[in-house]
Amino acid sequence: MSALSALPFLKPVHLRSPRGSAGGQRRHTLPASEFRCLSPEDAVSVFEIEREAFISVSGDCPLHLDEIRQFLNLCPELSLGWFEEGRLVAFIIGSLWDQDRLSQAAMTLHKPQGTAVHIHVLAVHRTFRQQGKGSILMWRYLQYLRCLPFARRALLMCEDFLVPFYQKCGFEALGPCEVAVGDMTFIEMQHSVRGHAFMRRNSGC
């Protein structure tokens, strides 16, 4: 059984349409929201959302298209996409890291023996922003990580103005990150995902 198939909060959610007026027949089921791990086939859609979200702000993307494909091939289980009616509206991409703090190498490497999940990017499609989707997706992602036996921490780096957002998601600031992109500097943040045996016993993990 895959990790995803064991997690009820990541399974597709469907909204049923009301019964038809004639004969009491039910209309076809309309797909609503679905949360699932991403695949390499999703890479272009991921990059289009990321490019629009980041280039206008910082002039660059956390991950380029070839890097997205790389991570979705190496560790698709550390990604999560939010689809509405089959359309990708938000996503997170992560990989494993094997050191206490992030370094430049963490930007492009996946360390299969690592216990820290490096969250490279969280992005929401422009037409779905200001709806709380980023917070909801992060909450689901952290719940998912708690069910992965190898995951101990989630790490990310962000600009100063995003620190309050991630603090509301349960992250704590570790201080300045040693990684810099041009003139941009970042704060490194951490969220513990271990020590949740009770949750594992009662969540179907």
Q: Number of helices (H) and strands (E), helices first, in the chain? A: 5, 9
CATH number of 33-154: 3.40.630.30
pLDDT on residue 142 = 97
The runs of H, that is alpha helices, within the chain are: 43-58, 65-74, 133-145, 163-168, 197-202
pTM for this entry: 0.82
Q: What average pLDDT does range 74-84 have in this prediction?
A: 97
pLDDT one-digit tens code per residue, 116-132: 999 999 999 998 888 99
Q: Which residues are catalytic?
A: 95, 109, 120, 122, 166
Q: What average pLDDT does range 196-203 have in this prediction?
A: 46
DSSP state at residue 132: S
Q: Based on the number of CB atoms within 10 Å of its own CB, is 182 exposed (0-12), middle (13-18) or buried (19 or more)? A: exposed
The two three-digit tokens of residue 2, written as one number: 């895959």
pLDDT one-digit tens code per residue, 123-178: 999 988 889 999 999 999 999 999 999 999 999 999 999 999 999 999 999 999 99
φ, ψ of residue 39 to 5 degrees: the values are -125, 165
